[in-house]
Amino acid sequence: MAQPFLKKDDDHDDEVDYSPFLGIEKGAVLQEARVFNDPQLDPRRCSQVITKLLYLLNQGETFTKVEATEVFFAVTKLFQSRDLGLRRMVYVIIKELSPSADEVIIVTSSLMKDMTSKTDMYRANAIRVLCQITDGTLLTQIERYLKQAIVDKNPVVASAALVSGIHLLQTNPEIVKRWSNEVQEAVQSRAALVQFHALALLHQIRQNDRLAVNKLVSSLTRGSVRSPLAQCLLIRYTSQVIRESASNTQTGDRPFYDFLEGCLRHKAEMVIFEAARAITELNGVTSRELTPAITVLQLFLSSTKPVLRFAAVRTLNKVAMTHPIAVTNCNIDMESLISDQNRSIATLAITTLLKTGNESSVDRLMKQITTFMSDIADEFKIVVIEAIRSLCLKFPLKHRSLMNFLSNILREEGGFEYKKAIVDSIVILIRDIPEAKESGLLHLCEFIEDCEFTYLSTQILHFLGIEGPKTSDPSKYIRYIYNRVHLENATVRAGAVSTLAKFGAMVDSLKPRIFILLRRCLFDTDDEVRDRATLYLNTLGADGAVEDMKEFLFGSLDIPLVNLERSLKNYEPSEESFDINSVPKEVKIQPLAEKKAPGKKPTGLGGPPPGPPSTIDAYEKLLSSIPEFANFGKLFKSSAPVELTEAETEYAVNVVKHIFDGHVVFQYNCTNTIPEQLLENVTVIVDASEAEEFAEVASKPLRSLPYDSPGQTFVAFEKPEGVPAVGKFSNMLRFIVKEVDPSTGEAEDDGVEDEYQLEELEVVAADYMLKVGVSNFRNAWESMGPDCERVDEYDLGPRENLAEAVNAVINLLGMQPCEGTEVVPSNSRSHTCLLSGVYIGNVKVLVRLQFGIDGPKDVAMKLAVRSEDEAVSDAIHEIVASG
C-alpha cells in the first residue's frame, strides 16, 4: 500500500520541501503511462503511474483531448489485471478523465462485468463509475442490475446504486422513477447509510407529489429511522410539510411538532441541532414552541466543541431578530462567548447580545466589546456598529455610553466603509435622540479635524450647518469649521464655506464674525470656494427678507437632480431666466434591480437616491406641441400606461393619463398588429357618463396607423380647477380600415368604418398625487407642524397579512414610501409606514400610517396626515374612507 515513488533516502527528513512528486512533469508521466500496454502488467508500477496522473490533475494540470484519449485507452487495458488495488485506481482515474460518449463504449463491457462480479468492491465501484460516465441510452441496459444493487445485501453496493440514482435523477428521471419499489425497500435497510441514501432518493422521486411526501413523512416519523443523517433528512422533509400545510391549520397544534421536539432528545448532536434549527425556523413559531429548542441550543453554547458553539450562536442570532425575548435566557452563556478564541463565534455572540440585551446590561456589554473590537476585521466591525445603532435607538437613555463608544472607535484606524458606518450611526442617533445631539456633534467635529475621507468631511460639514446653529452654543463649532478652510482640499473648503454661511444666517450674534471669516475666503485659490463666499456675503449682507435667505440656504431641493440636470441642458440662453419651478418633480419608480443595490439600509447621510431619467418631460414636450392643449398650463402628473386591450389582440391600445390643474388628457397609444390592414382617422369615442365632473373639450384623431408602427390619439376633458375629480370612462376605438396588399404594401382606396371595444378607464385619487420623497421624514413631519393634521382610525377588514394591507393603502394613495418603511418584516403584528407626496395644487402631504393586525387577520389602521392645507388633509382621509 505505501508506495514511495522515489527511492527512500534517509536524508529526506532534513529536506523541508521533500516531495515524491518533486520535479514531476506531464510529458514524462504520459511517457510512463506506456507501461499500461505491457503484456506483463506490473500492478504496483501501474498504480504508481496512475497516482502521478491523478496528482497532476489534482494540481490543476490539464490534459489535451489527444492526451486524455491516449491515457484513457491505455487505462482500459488495465482491466486485464486482477489486482484489486490497481482496479480501484483505475476506477478513480476513469472518473477523473470523464471520457466522451464514444470512449465510454470501450469500458462499458468491462464495467458491466464488474457490476455483476462476486467481489462487493467491484460491484459498488463499477456502479458509481458507470453511472457517472454513462448517458441515457446505456442506462436502460444496466437498469436491471442497478435495481438489484439497490437491494443488495452489501450496504456499500446498495449505497453506491442509491447515490448514483440520486445523480441520475437529474438527467433521466423517468428511468429512476421506475425504481421506487426497490428504493422503498432500501429505506427499511438496517444499514445506517443505506437508509440515508434511500430516503434521499425516495424523497427526490416523489418531491413533486405533495401527498406522497406527506405520507412518507407521517409513516417515517412514527417509525424508527436509525441513521442520524437520515433523521436529519426526515427533519428537513417534515419542516417542508409543515410549511406547506401551515395555512389550513392555523389554530390548534402544529402537525409533526411533537416529532421535531422528540428529536431534541436524540443521541446524535447533528439531529438535535437540525431539529432545534427547524423549530426556530417554523412560520409564526410561538414562544411555547421555541422554548425547548432554545434550551438545547443554550447547552451547545457552553460546549467544548467550537462547531457546536458556532452552530448554536448562529441560530440564536437569527432567532434574536424576530424573538429577542426568547433568547434573553442565553445571555449569560452568550457573554462568555465574547472572549471566544474563534472570532466568528465572538462576533455572532456580540451581535446577538446587542439585539437581546436589556438596558441594565448595556454598559457592561460596551466594556467587553471595546476590548474585542481591536482584533477583528472591518467586516465584522460594521456588523457590530449596526447592532449598536439599533440598540441605542431602543434604549435612548443609554446614548451616553454608546455615543462614547462610537466616538472612541471613530478615532481608531479603519477603512472608509467602516468609518462611514460609524458616522452614519452617530448622525442617526443625533437626529433621533435630542439629548445626544451636542455630544454627537462635537464628536463629529473632532473627527473631521483628522479625517482622510473627503466624502465624510463634506457630509459632516453639511450636517453641522443644519444642526449646529440650533444648539445652545453655536459659536463653539465655528473654530472646527473654519479650520477646514485652512487645512483641507477644495471640496471640503467649499463645504465649510457653506456651513459657515448657515451659521451666519441663523445666529445673529455670530453674523459679524462670520462676515470676517467669509471675506477671508474671497482670496482662496479655488473658484468654487471664492464663488460661494461671494454669494453668501451678498445674500447675508442684503437687507432682503430673512425668510427668503433661510429658504435659500436651508430649503431642500425638492426636485430630483436628474430632472434638474436635463432641464438645465434643455434651457437655451435667452432674455427669460431659467425657472426652477418648470422642472418636473415626479420621481420615476426605479427598476427593481437598482432597488436591490447595496444601499438598502437606511442611510444616515444624503438624500433619497436620484431617480433615473424620467419620461415626464418627453410627455410635456409632446403635449405642448399640440395647439389644442397648449393653454392647459403646467403638466402636473402623467400616469404609467394602462393597458386597455388584452395581450395579442388585433389592436393593442394603452392609455396614459395626463393631469393638469383644470384638465385631463388621455393619450391613447395604439398599435396595429395586422399586416394586411391600414387604419385611418383613428379616434377614441369616450363615454364619460360615469364621470360627472368631466366634460370633453377636444379630441385629436390619428390620421393613419399602418402595421406595427405605434401612433397616438388624444382626448381632452375639462374638470373643475384644482379638484381631484374621479370617474369612470368607457372607450371605443373608431377608425376606417383599408385592406393592404401584403406583396406591394399598397392600400386600397376604399375603406370601411369599423369600431373596436376597449376596456374601461378610471381616473382615481392617486392620479392627483405626485410621488415625491423626503430625505428625513421626521424633520419634515415636525417642520410641517400639527396645524393641519388630521388623524383617524380605519378598519381595513380581514387581510392575508400586514404587507398586503400596507401595499393596498400605498397604491390607493399613490404616494412615495419613505425610509424603506414599505417593507413589512414577515410575522410582524404591527407596522408603521411613512409616505410623502405632492397633491394637486402643489400641496406637500405627509402621511403616517400605523397598522395593527389582530387574531383572525383583521387589520386596523391609524392614519395621520399633515399637509400645508387642511382641506387637502381632509381629502386624503376622504380617499382612504372611500377606498
Partner 1 sequence: MELCPLIKNILLLDSEGKRIAVKYYSDDWPTNSAKEAFEKAVFAKTQKTNARTDGVNHVDLLTKVNADAEITMFDNYVVVYKFVQDLHFFVTGGENENEIILAAVLQGFFDAVGLLLRGTVDKKEALENLDLILLCLDEIVDGGIILETDANVIAGKVASHSMDAGASLSEQTITQALATAREHLTRSLLK
Is the distance from CB of 737 to CB of 755 less than 8 angstroms?
no
Determine, following the binding rule CB under 8 A, whether residue 21 of this chain makes contact with partner 1: yes
Q: Provide the pairing of β-strand 769-770 with 790-798.
A: unpaired
Show the DSSP H helices in 323-398 as ranges: 324-327, 331-336, 343-356, 362-373, 378-394
* All residues at 6 or more sequence positions from 568 whose CB lies less than 8 Å from its CB, including other chains: 578
Determine, following the binding rule CB under 8 A, whether residue 637 of this chain makes contact with partner 1: no
Smallest distance from partner 1 to CB 763, Å: 46
Q: Quick one: which of 23, 27, 60, 598 contacts partner 1 (CB under 8 A)?
A: 60
Q: Provide the pairing of β-strand 651-659 with 677-690.
A: unpaired
- Which residues, 344 to 383, sit near partner 1 by CB under 8 A? 344-345
**Cell, residue 193:** 447509510
Kindly determine how many residues on this chain lie close enough to bind partner 1 according to the rule CB under 8 A.
75
Cα–Cα nearest to 347, from 355, 290, 327, 426? 355
Determine, following the binding rule CB under 8 A, whether residue 720 of this chain makes contact with partner 1: no
For 840, counting Cβ atoms within 10 Å of its Cβ (0-12 exposed, 13-18 middle, 19+ buried), the class is buried
Q: What 3-state class would DSSP assign to 455?
A: helix
CA pair distance 665, 628, nearest whole angstrom: 11
Determine, following the binding rule CB under 8 A, whether residue 824 of this chain makes contact with partner 1: no
Is the distance from CB of 536 to CB of 518 less than 8 angstroms?
yes
Determine, following the binding rule CB under 8 A, whether residue 259 of this chain makes contact with partner 1: no
Q: What 3-state class would DSSP assign to 329?
A: helix
- Which residues, 435 to 474, sit near partner 1 by CB under 8 A? none
Q: Quick one: which of 9, 18, 557, 602 contacts partner 1 (CB under 8 A)?
A: 18
Nearer to partner 1, 376 or 688 (CB): 376
Determine, following the binding rule CB under 8 A, whether residue 301 of this chain makes contact with partner 1: no
Q: Quick one: which of 236, 476, 734, 790 contacts partner 1 (CB under 8 A)?
A: 236
Give strand ranges (E) for 740-789: 752-757, 761-763, 769-770
Determine, following the binding rule CB under 8 A, whether residue 92 of this chain makes contact with partner 1: yes
Determine, following the binding rule CB under 8 A, whether residue 577 of this chain makes contact with partner 1: no
862 DSSP β-pair partners = 793, 850
CA pair distance 660, 640, nearest whole angstrom: 15
Determine, following the binding rule CB under 8 A, whether residue 310 of this chain makes contact with partner 1: yes
Smallest distance from partner 1 to CB 117, Å: 13
Nearer to partner 1, 306 or 544 (CB): 306
Cα–Cα nearest to 494, from 535, 466, 453? 535
Nearer to partner 1, 192 or 723 (CB): 192
**Cell, residue 599:** 444601499
| CA 476-451-446 angle, 5° bins | 25
Nearer to partner 1, 47 or 836 (CB): 47
Q: Quick one: which of 9, 12, 262, 689 contacts partner 1 (CB under 8 A)?
A: 12
Smallest distance from partner 1 to CB 866, Å: 44
Q: Quick one: which of 35, 74, 246, 270 contacts partner 1 (CB under 8 A)?
A: 270
Determine, following the binding rule CB under 8 A, whether residue 167 of this chain makes contact with partner 1: yes
Determine, following the binding rule CB under 8 A, whether residue 172 of this chain makes contact with partner 1: no
CA pair distance 375, 381, nearest whole angstrom: 10
* All residues at 6 or more sequence positions from 873 whose CB lies less than 8 Å from its CB, including other chains: 788, 789, 790, 845, 865, 866, 867
Q: Quick one: which of 56, 308, 430, 460 contacts partner 1 (CB under 8 A)?
A: 308
Q: Pick the piece of the chain touching partner 1 (CB under 8 A) from 28-36, 55-63, 621-629, 775-783.
A: 55-63
Nearer to partner 1, 512 or 598 (CB): 598
Determine, following the binding rule CB under 8 A, whether residue 220 of this chain makes contact with partner 1: no
Determine, following the binding rule CB under 8 A, whether residue 151 of this chain makes contact with partner 1: no
Smallest distance from partner 1 to CB 159, Å: 6
* All residues at 6 or more sequence positions from 689 whose CB lies less than 8 Å from its CB, including other chains: none
Q: What is the residue whose three cell numbers read 471566544?
A: 340
Nearer to partner 1, 62 or 625 (CB): 62
Determine, following the binding rule CB under 8 A, whether residue 513 of this chain makes contact with partner 1: no
Determine, following the binding rule CB under 8 A, whether residue 307 of this chain makes contact with partner 1: yes
CA pair distance 765, 814, nearest whole angstrom: 8
Smallest distance from partner 1 to CB 343, Å: 8
| CA 758-761-763 angle, 5° bins | 165
* Contacts by residues 528-536 (CB-CB < 8 Å, ≥ 24 positions apart): 528/490, 528/494, 529/485, 529/490, 529/493, 529/494, 529/497, 532/494, 532/497, 532/498, 532/501, 533/497, 536/497, 536/498, 536/500, 536/501, 536/504
Q: Pick the piece of the chain touching partner 1 (CB under 8 A) from 150-158, 451-459, 594-602, 760-768.
A: 150-158
545 DSSP β-pair partners = none
Nearer to partner 1, 380 or 636 (CB): 380
Determine, following the binding rule CB under 8 A, whether residue 47 of this chain makes contact with partner 1: yes
| Sign of CA pseudo-dihedral 55, 56, 59, 60 | negative
Smallest distance from partner 1 to CB 48, Å: 8
Nearer to partner 1, 18 or 554 (CB): 18
Nearer to partner 1, 190 or 486 (CB): 190
| CA 44-50-54 angle, 5° bins | 145
DSSP secondary structure, 78-114, as one string: GGG---HHHHHHHHHHHHHH---HHHHHHHHHHHHHH
Nearer to partner 1, 68 or 540 (CB): 68
Smallest distance from partner 1 to CB 110, Å: 17
Nearer to partner 1, 306 or 786 (CB): 306
Nearer to partner 1, 35 or 697 (CB): 35
Determine, following the binding rule CB under 8 A, whether residue 191 of this chain makes contact with partner 1: yes
606: left (phi over 0), alpha (psi -120 to 50) or beta: left
Nearer to partner 1, 197 or 419 (CB): 197
Q: What is the residue whose three cell numbers read 425638492?
A: 558
Q: Quick one: which of 149, 158, 161, 203 contacts partner 1 (CB under 8 A)?
A: 203
Determine, following the binding rule CB under 8 A, whether residue 416 of this chain makes contact with partner 1: no
Q: Pick the piece of the chain touching partner 1 (CB under 8 A) from 12-20, 471-479, 626-634, 645-653.
A: 12-20
Determine, following the binding rule CB under 8 A, whether residue 866 of this chain makes contact with partner 1: no
740 DSSP β-pair partners = 747
Q: Pick the piece of the chain touching partner 1 (CB under 8 A) from 44-52, 177-185, 607-615, 694-702.
A: 44-52
Is the distance from CB of 816 to CB of 837 less than 8 angstroms?
yes
Is the distance from CB of 778 to CB of 432 less than 8 angstroms?
yes
Smallest distance from partner 1 to CB 275, Å: 10
**Cell, residue 48:** 504508481
Q: Quick one: which of 23, 27, 39, 58 contacts partner 1 (CB under 8 A)?
A: 58
Determine, following the binding rule CB under 8 A, whether residue 55 of this chain makes contact with partner 1: yes
- Which residues, 312 to 351, sit near partner 1 by CB under 8 A? 314, 341-342, 344-345
Nearer to partner 1, 90 or 813 (CB): 90
- Which residues, 592 to 621, sit near partner 1 by CB under 8 A? none
- Which residues, 97 to 126, sit near partner 1 by CB under 8 A? 121
Determine, following the binding rule CB under 8 A, whether residue 233 of this chain makes contact with partner 1: yes
Q: Quick one: which of 63, 237, 660, 729 contacts partner 1 (CB under 8 A)?
A: 237
Q: Quick one: which of 204, 471, 590, 683 contacts partner 1 (CB under 8 A)?
A: 204
Determine, following the binding rule CB under 8 A, whether residue 20 of this chain makes contact with partner 1: yes
